[in-house]
């Protein structure tokens, strides 16, 4: 676990810096989009635009007190502190599909400038996220994406293919290349984990070095 923690700390910092640029940068090309209700400007952010003083940046992980999420949002706090923003962390204690909705609604009422969310369900959070966007709040997903039409930007900490391939390789090494395995995912609707599992299944089914490994669940 230590090796993974060292990998993700700097990535979380990059997430937060990107959020600041997304929320504050001007656009060089605008177009209209009607997905999710209302017209929204889309375009390319200007990386040289100044960051607004006192930018209110909220983080909403899948659940609080999760060691993995703590690393991600900890890097975000470091970055927000560096550019003089106001950091806020909220979230549920369980990672159910709709557990984040009430927190999104509260953040809208508070007038946050940016909501960063690791979505427990790609669709359950969309109505509230689009309400946030209609209120000129930038929505950035990280770790686990929401549907594309209800967020402004997705920051991925690793490629889906890379994670799935590594899962297959490390599993094979752990069991000596043969045996029965099962996958226990954190939540049934997590977009990132489901995508990783699909790559894992493909690797096990298609590569001869995994022919003696049986995925039972």
> Are residue 27 and residue 96 in the same domain, yes or no?
yes
> Are residue 7 and residue 78 in the same domain, yes or no?
yes
Predicted confidence (pLDDT) per residue in 53-69, tens digit: 899 999 999 999 989 89
Measure the CA–CA gap between 144 and 117, rounded to whole angstroms: 8
> What is the reported pLDDT for 44?
66
> Are residue 47 and residue 121 in the same domain, yes or no?
yes
> Are residue 185 and residue 124 in the same domain, yes or no?
no
> What is the reported pLDDT for 15?
41
CA atoms within 13 A on the CB side of 33: 15
> Are residue 150 and residue 165 in the same domain, yes or no?
no
Q: Structurally, how many domains does the chain consist of?
A: 2
> Are residue 56 and residue 105 in the same domain, yes or no?
yes
Measure the CA–CA gap between 156 and 169, rounded to whole angstroms: 21
The SS3 assignment for 213 reads strand
> Are residue 210 and residue 103 in the same domain, yes or no?
no
> Are residue 135 and residue 175 in the same domain, yes or no?
no
Beta strands in 21-171 (DSSP E): 31-33, 40-42, 56-60, 86-89, 114-117, 138-142, 153-155
Task: Point out the domain boundary residue: 155, 171, 203.
Answer: 155
Task: Point out the domain boundary residue: 109, 136, 155.
Answer: 155
> Are residue 15 and residue 101 in the same domain, yes or no?
yes
CATH of the domain at 27: 3.40.50.2300
Show the low-confidence residues of the chain (pLDDT under 50). Answer: 1-41
> What is the reported pLDDT for 199?
96
> Are residue 51 and residue 104 in the same domain, yes or no?
yes
Domain of residue 144, residue span = 2-155
> Are residue 102 and residue 123 in the same domain, yes or no?
yes
> Are residue 93 and residue 189 in the same domain, yes or no?
no
Enumerate the β-bridge partners of residue 33: 40
Beta strands in the chain (DSSP E): 31-33, 40-42, 56-60, 86-89, 114-117, 138-142, 153-155, 179-181, 213-215
């Amino acid at each position: 676990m230590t090796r993974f923690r060292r990998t993700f700390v700097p990535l979380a910092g990059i997430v937060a810096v990107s959020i600041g640029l997304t929320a504050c940068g001007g656009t060089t090309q605008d177009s209209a989009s009607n997905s999710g209700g209302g017209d929204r400007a889309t375009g390319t952010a200007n990386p040289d635009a100044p960051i607004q003083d006192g930018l209110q940046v909220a983080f909403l992980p899948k659940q609080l007190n999760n060691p993995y999420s703590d690393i991600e949002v900890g890097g975000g706090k470091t970055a927000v502190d560096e550019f003089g923003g106001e950091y806020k962390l909220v979230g549920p204690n369980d990672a159910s599909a709709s557990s984040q909705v009430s927190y999104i609604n509260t953040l809208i009422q508070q007038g946050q400038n940016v909501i960063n969310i690791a979505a427990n369900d790609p669709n359950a959070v969309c109505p509230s996220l689009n309400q946030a966007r209609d209120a000129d709040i930038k929505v950035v997903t990280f770790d686990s994406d929401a549907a594309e039409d209800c967020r402004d930007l997705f920051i991925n900490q690793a490629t889906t293919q890379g994670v799935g391939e590594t899962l297959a390789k490390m599993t094979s090494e752990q069991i000596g290349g043969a045996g029965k395995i099962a996958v226990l995912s954190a939540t049934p609707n997590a977009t990132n984990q489901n995508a990783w599992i699909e790559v894992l299944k493909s690797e096990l089914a298609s590569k001869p070095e995994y022919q003696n490994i049986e995925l039972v669940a």
